[in-house]
Amino acid sequence: MASASNNKLIDMIKSGASMTLRQQLKLTVALSTPAILAHLSIIIMQYIDSSMVGRLGTNDSASIGLVSTSMWLFGGLLNAAAMGFTVQVAHLIGANRSSDARSVLRQSLVCCMTFSVVLALVGCLISGYLPHWLGGNDEICHNASRYFFILSLFLPFLEIELLAGGMLRSSGNMKVPGMLNILMCVLDVLFNFLLIFPSRDISIDGHAIHMPGAGLGVMGAALGTVLAEVVTCLMMLYFLLVKSRDLKLKGTRGSFAPTIDCLKKAIKIGTPIGLQEVMMCGAYIATTVIVAPLGSIAIAANAFAITAEGLCYMPGYGLGEAATTLVGQSIGANRRDLSNRFAHITVALGVLSMTTLGVLMYLFAPQMMSVMSPVRDIVDLGAQCLRIEAWAEPLFGASIVCYGVMVGAGDTLIPSAMNLGSMWIIRITLAALLAPIYGLVGVWIAMCIELWVRGAIFLIRLWSGRWSKKSIISSS
């Protein structure tokens, strides 16, 4: 019933029907809730993964933390490639052009698969050198290389999972991607539990139970992740290609050959996002290089604190995804007034939710860190960082959701430049200056200041209205 109700509200956007504030709020909450739950499950998965690996020792934790930002770069590039097509689909569905939307979907499958295979090859080739480039010591580089190699090898599955999930969300179906992402997290935890640790006996209510295990350590964590991605990818494709109301390809005919027009639009949308991901993740990698000389304790505390902070920004990313869909379909339907209202509703909810969670993070920072590591020094240092970052959450929420709004409108160039300028000019510069003086705490102070600035400039652009001037989809 909930899905039918949501479909009726989405159809109101396409048909030009008037929507009350209550209906707009209802649709925003309905679309964002599955995405928020999906992000929550991912963060919980990362918590559990970090807790499992943390039990292996500081060096194993550091080996994953060392290359995690580089893997974000690859994931960001894959997401940018998918976004170049999913935004087109959102506009076309909003304009009631489902046949054209399916044509874009067919082309996206070919283009994104090709791109991901190339990226996987690059990742595999550099995996042996990357940890040394990042300044890792000999104690952690070997495991870090193998971890990165395994994740790189399976990048095509991650790309298709991102593309299929994005296409479903563009059509207004947030529930299926959300539920499948939750399933992916459950599978990841299950696979990790079996692959990371050796066979052992565990006690439950006084009864000893033999638990099988492969004892692969860091490699088990990598294999657990990619196996979960493969299962989720296949299920996401099934719901997209067979079950989707607006986008299913089963029983339809059409060419999979990319067209110049579709590629131009994909490049126009995706290139700024891709360049942003390269530069943003390059900044994260630069931060890793700044943190690496501080030692394994700092590397592990930094990685765990980043995971812990994810609990705060999960509503922001969930609302950002909902904003992309709502704004994209509203603009596709040529309803600028409605796209503006959805933009302001989603941003306000993002700021409110992340402010609330920022307060909770400040209060419970030590407990959040202790879940992931038994090492007192790591817990204490990570808790300090989290309490600094808590002050940045309101404006961080504003920047996340504003960016989702602007992507939905096809406005990616200026927002990407804003993200990049803020990150490289403010965060990296301050981190490089403060790290030698204050250690890891200085790096997080720099992060907090940068997020204040970023949130402020995104709010200024939102209020200016310049992000919604034109659609990338022609009216013809």
Q: Taking 80 as the threshold, does the pLDDT of residue 208 lie above it?
A: no
Write the CA distances from 424 to 156, 217, 283, 297, 386, integer angstroms.
30, 35, 6, 25, 21
Q: For the chain, how far is it from start to end, CA to CA, in angstroms?
A: 35
| pLDDT-based confidence at residue 157 (cuts at 50, 70, 90) | very high
Domain assignments of the chain as residue spans, ordered by start: 2-468
Q: In the predicted model, is pLDDT for residue 225 greater than 50? A: yes
Q: Choose the weakest-confidence range: 19-33, 176-190, 417-431.
A: 19-33
What DSSP state is assigned to residue 212? Answer: E
pLDDT of residue 2: 44
Task: Say what the pLDDT of residue 38 is.
Answer: 66
Q: Is the dihedral of CA 46, 48, 49, 54 positive or negative?
A: positive
- pLDDT of 474 higher than 60: no
Return the closest-CA partner of residue 410 out of 35, 58, 10, 90. Answer: 90
Tens-place pLDDT, residues 115-156: 999 999 999 999 999 988 888 778 888 888 999 999 999 999
What does the pLDDT read at residue 39? 64
Q: How many residues does the chain have?
A: 476
Task: For the chain, give the percent of residues with pLDDT over 70.
Answer: 92
Q: Which is more confidently placed, 100 or 313? A: 100
Dihedral of CA 260/263/268/274: which sign? Answer: negative
Locate tokens 């009864």: which residue?
Answer: 207
Question: What per-residue confidence (pLDDT) applies to 95?
Answer: 83
Q: Name the band, by pLDDT with cuts 50, 70 and 90, for residue 366.
A: very high
Q: Which two tokens stand for residue 331?
A: 């603009």
Which tens digits make up the pLDDT trace of 20-59?
Answer: 888 888 888 877 777 777 667 666 666 666 667 766 777 7
Q: State how far the Cα of 329 lies from the Cα of 347, in Å rounded to an integer.
A: 17
CA separation for the pair 271, 277 (Å, rounded) = 10
Categorize the per-residue pLDDT at 476 as very low, low, confident or very high, splitting at 50, 70 and 90: very low
The pLDDT score that the predictor gives to residue 127 is 93
What pTM was computed for the model?
Answer: 0.72
Under 8 Å between Cβ of 299 and 65: yes
What are the two backbone dihedrals, phi and then psi, of residue 245, each rounded to the nearest 5 degrees? -60, -40
Could you give the C-alpha distances from 147 to 66, 115, 232, 383, in angstroms and in order? 10, 22, 20, 27
> Do residues 188 and 225 make contact, with C-beta atoms less than 8 angstroms apart?
yes
Residues 6 or more apart whose Cβ sits within 8 Å of residue 206:
none
Tell me which of 366 and 306 has the higher pLDDT.
Answer: 366
